[in-house]
Structure 1
Amino acid sequence: MNRAELEGALWGARARDWADVQEPTIRPVCRTVLGELGAWQGRTLLDIGCGAGDFVGMASCLGARGSGLDASVALIEIARKRNPAGLFRVGDMQYLPFPDDAFNVVTAFNSLHFATDPAATVAEAIRVTHPGGSIVIATWGPPSECDAITYLLDLGSLMPQGPPDRPPSLDPTDLDAPGALMTRAGLTPSAWRKVHCPWEYPDLGTALRGLLSTGPAAQAISHSGQGRVAEAIAESIAPYRCGDGSYSLSNTCYYLVATTDG
């Protein structure tokens, strides 16, 4: 399998849990982007790495005509059911199956670092964006601002040792990299906007549903088994347990906005 197919299989392994529990954790940054970009009625949107279509659904409720692309067949199936008026495709983000100048807005929420070639993905985003349209790239904040780093580090100890099967092509915690990619592609990105995006769960069972549904968790499960991974996650998030039995992990997301030449 190529990188996109591998990522699609990993992130789709527990697609329903991702859609119901984990995907909504980035809604704060999604709502902020929707507000910043203003009126949505009649505008066309493409969300790259759309998952189960949560952001497309949010924009569609404001009048946008939404489309999405993701590498996971299972997540796209959910997105289509949730958004029957939307156009969703399974594919590789560096080869967008859409015509030139097709969208007023193109977004990529925490997905660019999964691209085999991030520069090619940015070029594709520009190609499908209408002149004068907006491109938004969002990524996680640095480790010092994300409690989730503990969870990810603990998962890493349960994955195969040695060279990774899918080395990152872009460090998701490097805030300089996305802006540099956009600048090299001829865009002028905005200053970073910072949004608090906590991961909140009412109980341990819900937390495990969400945290076992991510791509890194799926890879750890394939190597170490679900029991060991679930036990490690429960231990990892124990410091974030609240008095009522709920869990709250404080995280931040950052995003850039750039306008294509009009």
Structure 2
Amino acid sequence: MADDRPVTATPAGEHWSTHARDWTDVQERTIHPAWLAVLNELTPAPGEPVLDLGCGAGGFTRLAARRGVKVSGLDASATLAGIARTRTPAGDFRAGDMNRIPFPDAEFFAVTAFNSLHFAQDPARAVEEAIRVARPGGHITIAAWGPLTDCDALAYFLDLGGLMPSTPHRPGDSPDLTDPTVVHRLLSQAGLTVAAARAVDCPWRYPDLKTALRGLLSTGPAAIAIAHAGLAEVRETVTESISPYRRLDGSYLLHNTCFTITATLA
């Protein structure tokens, strides 16, 4: 049954709100090829309801709405959810926690999560919640960067992580959701019929260093790193991380792979 307690933005959402406009203008579009791949795979009919978990500024939902899909979104950041609402006024966008999805049971034809499941406090619980709000015969699609060894952005991810405060870690607490086999197993263990992972090329392109830094410093993890290590150190570190991908014209191109996995409810 749905949890009817009030749902608001989460503390983690505050980090994603810090540079929400930079995220919307620059970094969000890096996942656009995966949005298209998923939308073309699911092929929801006009009027079908789709929920995007970790919807951010609503890029995927806006794309789906243009095809007549009835869209909803949930994000930890009230600021990003507000931008999504402005971009697609007909959609239902809310701030909250994907471990406690504030939508009714059996509501959606499909539930999607683009690079968001790994931010859930309990990914298995988030999958359970996605199953609850999906219709029988509906779909759940997870997309994520990785395997990171196939991503030029690996140095950025690792270097940014090195500037964040250390947290206690217990073995087994955090499944590696950049590994398609781990995501496949997580969905299978939840009782879903899971299709094979599909790889999607999602290059990161920036016309210059200023734009690259706007995008790469707009993420929630970057905000945490800046609060911990300071803006100057984070800017310097990120600039060095992406320096091998600077082209002769001053632009940057990082070749990255995203995978998508779609599961179906019985």
Same fold, TM-score > 0.5, yes or no: yes
Counterpart residue identity of residue 54, structure 2: G
Match of 2:143 among 111, 114, 138: 138
Equivalences for residues 103-142 of structure 1 within 5 A: 103-142=108-147
Q: Is the 8 A contact 2:177 2:183 kept in 1?
A: no
Match of 1:79 among 80, 84, 95: 84
Secondary structure of 1:130's aligned partner: strand
Match of 2:263 among 243, 246, 258: 258
Describe the shift of the 1:201–1:168 C-alpha distance in structure 2 as closer, same or farther (beyond 3 A): farther
CA displacement, residues 40-72 of structure 1 (integer Å, 9 cap, x when unaligned): 311111000100111000000001000000010
Q: Is the 8 A contact 1:112 1:170 kept in 2?
A: no
Q: Show the counterpart of 1:34.
A: 39
Q: What's the CA shift for 1:5?
A: 2.2
Report whether the alignment pairs 1:97 with 2:102: yes
Counterpart residue identity of residue 145, structure 2: W
Counterpart residue identity of residue 210, structure 1: G
Q: Show the counterpart of 2:159.
A: 154
Secondary structure of 1:100's aligned partner: coil
Q: Distance in 2 between matches of 1:198 and 1:118?
A: 26
Q: Show the counterpart of 1:222.
A: 227
Q: Show the counterpart of 2:247.
A: 242
Counterpart residue identity of residue 150, structure 1: A
Counterpart residue identity of residue 5, structure 1: T
CA displacement, residues 83-116 of structure 1 (integer Å, 9 cap, x when unaligned): 1100011111011111111111110111111111
Q: Distance in 1 between matches of 2:252 and 2:133?
A: 40
Q: Is the 8 A contact 2:23 2:218 kept in 1?
A: yes
Query: CA RMSD for the aligned pairs?
Result: 1.5
Q: Distance in 2 between matches of 1:194 and 1:162?
A: 31
Q: Is the 8 A contact 1:40 1:59 kept in 2?
A: no
Secondary structure of 2:132's aligned partner: helix
Please identify runs of 4+ aligned residues in structure 1 that moved more than 6 A. none
Q: Show the counterpart of 1:62.
A: 67
Q: Is the 8 A contact 1:71 1:91 kept in 2?
A: yes
Q: What's the CA shift for 1:168?
A: 6.9
Describe the shift of the 1:131–1:239 C-alpha distance in structure 2 as closer, same or farther (beyond 3 A): same
CA displacement, residues 146-190 of structure 1 (integer Å, 9 cap, x when unaligned): 1111011111222224637xx973323222221111111110110
Secondary structure of 1:172's aligned partner: coil
Secondary structure of 1:41's aligned partner: coil
Q: What's the CA shift for 1:39?
A: 4.4
Match of 1:22 among 1, 24, 27: 27
Q: Is the 8 A contact 2:137 2:264 kept in 1?
A: yes
TM-score, normalised to structure 2, is 0.92
Describe the shift of the 1:37–1:229 C-alpha distance in structure 2 as closer, same or farther (beyond 3 A): same
Residue range with higher mean Cα deviation, 206-215 or 111-120: 111-120
Counterpart residue identity of residue 80, structure 2: L
Q: Distance in 1 between matches of 2:173 and 2:227?
A: 19
Secondary structure of 1:88's aligned partner: strand
Q: Is the 8 A contact 2:117 2:126 kept in 1?
A: yes
Once the two structures are aligned, what percentage of the paired residues are identical? 57
Report whether the alignment pairs 1:163 with 2:168: yes
Counterpart residue identity of residue 190, structure 2: A
Describe the shift of the 1:119–1:212 C-alpha distance in structure 2 as closer, same or farther (beyond 3 A): same
Q: Distance in 1 between matches of 2:42 and 2:257?
A: 20
Q: What's the CA shift for 1:219?
A: 0.9
Secondary structure of 1:256's aligned partner: strand
Runs of 5+ unmatched residues, structure 2: 1-8
Counterpart residue identity of residue 20, structure 1: D
Secondary structure of 1:99's aligned partner: coil
Q: What's the CA shift for 1:33?
A: 0.8
Describe the shift of the 1:39–1:8 C-alpha distance in structure 2 as closer, same or farther (beyond 3 A): closer
